[in-house]
Amino acid sequence: MKKEIVVNRGLEETRVAVLENGKLFDLFIERRESEKILNNIYKGTVGNVVPALNSAFIDIGFGKSAYLGGGDIVIKGARAGEASNISKYLKPDQEVMVQVYKEPISTKGPKVTMDISLPGRFLVFMPFSNNVGVSRNIEDKQETDRLRSIVYNAKKDGPGGFIIRTEAEDATEDELLREISYLRKIWKAVTERFEKSKPLKLIHKDLGVVFQTVRDYFSEDVMLMHIDSQKEVNEVVEFLKVVSPEFIDRIAYYDGQKPIFEAFGIEKEIKALYSNKTKLKSGGYLIIQEAESLCAIDVNSGKFTARNSQEDTAVLTNIEAAEEVARQLRLRNIGGIIVIDFIDMKKALNRQKVLEKLRAVTRGDKAKIKIWPITKLGLIEMTRERKRESLLSLMGQTCPLCNGLGQVTSGESAFVKVCETLDKMNIQAHFGTGKINVNPELLEYFKQRRPRLKEIFKTDFEIKADESLGRDDYKIVLE
């Protein structure tokens, strides 16, 4: 698979796209006005302690209080576990070090943990752990044992535990030891800043979106990273000299006349994300309906028909849909509970085939995913880890006309309301003329219904457009 990373550095935002075989699979956006706080570490103070909820609210100087669950408490380097009596561990105004693991979404504040983790390219350093874990995506047992042995021996030289990431596969001992030393130096600096800083201060800021992408996505299968800013190119090269010098020659400066996202066809794909309908190559399509904590996805065969039978049509469409569902979840950054309504299949073997396909194509997703077996109604239920707001929430806002329903008042409904108002006005005895002002989008509909108005109310109404009126509003003037 050919992977490329494309970086667009603008005045107000930085966008990073990850392409697989020329197709957009991941999109990250960082804006100056809404800077992310995910993985940042703060010196906060305890606000309310709520034993009934086994939780506390922490002030980190962000505006909204951060939520801290009982299972995320670490006191003097030791985990409190699922603290049943949180008041034993936390008191109001107590100073604590916390890390954001979930950004604020909608009206909810951020979620934080005292169990700090510092991610590197190959490893994640856990200062309050003694364990060495290995990513499940490294399937070779011999390689797993080699990596675990290197890290376990190095761990003896200092505090903390480690999680060995997928990117560590085939990494040399020197690379791993260098990163262990680097992560421990960062932790030392964090603890020193915590001691010296006043409360409600940021004491460690996570990498920006470009460096995060380099750290998390740059591997042997990435052919090139295209960047349209020479300054950003220079900074990435300096960063790679420290973390992965072997990839420096894969950084390319883009100086084409076309904007970089247009040249790679990315703008067109981003525009398509504003629609809740996604087309499949076969002719089928997905309907994606997002809510705050639930997403429903409906699979339709559309014009596609397999040669053999309806069952074959369903299976082929569902398998193609499973691949696109996995891509759309990553692209739109949809999290929470997801329910997928695949096309009905009679054979249990075919249903299992689609389920296994969905599990296979979601393995490349860096968010934690859990998929349950197909229900009696033919639905697949799954959960996807939500760490930050969805892409559509970032790029858009609730429609003031429909309040997020996706529908506005129809011409017919508006016409009925006008008729009811006119009926209450009892204008049958009116011998003059009348004017009805409506929203411009409803003008044509009302003009077509003008004869009906005359028939009902014996008055010839002039229909006019008024841009100041919403679709639910109208103005009636009798002369």
Local confidence band at 159 (pLDDT 50, 70, 90 cut-offs): confident
**Tokens linked to 220:** 């042997």
Local confidence band at 82 (pLDDT 50, 70, 90 cut-offs): low
Local confidence band at 77 (pLDDT 50, 70, 90 cut-offs): low
pLDDT tens-digit profile of 411-437?
999 999 999 898 888 776 556 678 999
pLDDT score of 398 more than 80 = no
pLDDT score of 8 more than 70 = yes
pTM score, whole prediction: 0.74
Give burial (CB, 10 Å; 0-12/13-18/19+) of 295.
Answer: buried
CA torsion angle 176 43 216 271 (round to 10): 180
Q: 454 φ, ψ to 5°?
A: -65, -40
pLDDT score of 79 more than 70 = no
Local confidence band at 307 (pLDDT 50, 70, 90 cut-offs): low
pLDDT of 83 reads 53
Q: Is beta strand 434-438 parallel, antiparallel or unpaired with respect to 461-465?
A: parallel
pLDDT of 243 reads 77
pLDDT of 105 reads 78
- Mention every residue, 6+ apart, whose C-beta is less than 8 A from residue 461: 433, 434, 435, 436, 450, 453, 454
**Tokens linked to 247:** 């990839």
pLDDT of 394 reads 73
- Tell me the C-alpha to C-alpha distance, in Å, between residue 297 and each of 12, 46, 318: 33, 40, 12
- Tell me the C-alpha to C-alpha distance, in Å, between residue 228 and each of 5, 256, 263, 282, 357: 12, 9, 11, 35, 37
Residues 248 and 214 sit within 8 Å (Cβ to Cβ): no
pLDDT of 46 reads 94
pLDDT tens-digit profile of 33-53?
667 788 999 999 999 998 888
pLDDT of 317 reads 92
pLDDT score of 31 more than 60 = yes
Instruction: State which amino acid sits at residue 380.
Output: I
pLDDT tens-digit profile of 172-229?
898 899 889 989 999 999 999 999 999 999 999 988 889 989 888 888 889 999 999 9
pLDDT tens-digit profile of 112-134?
999 999 998 899 999 998 889 99
pLDDT score of 24 more than 90 = yes
pLDDT score of 385 more than 90 = no
Residues 24 and 223 sit within 8 Å (Cβ to Cβ): no
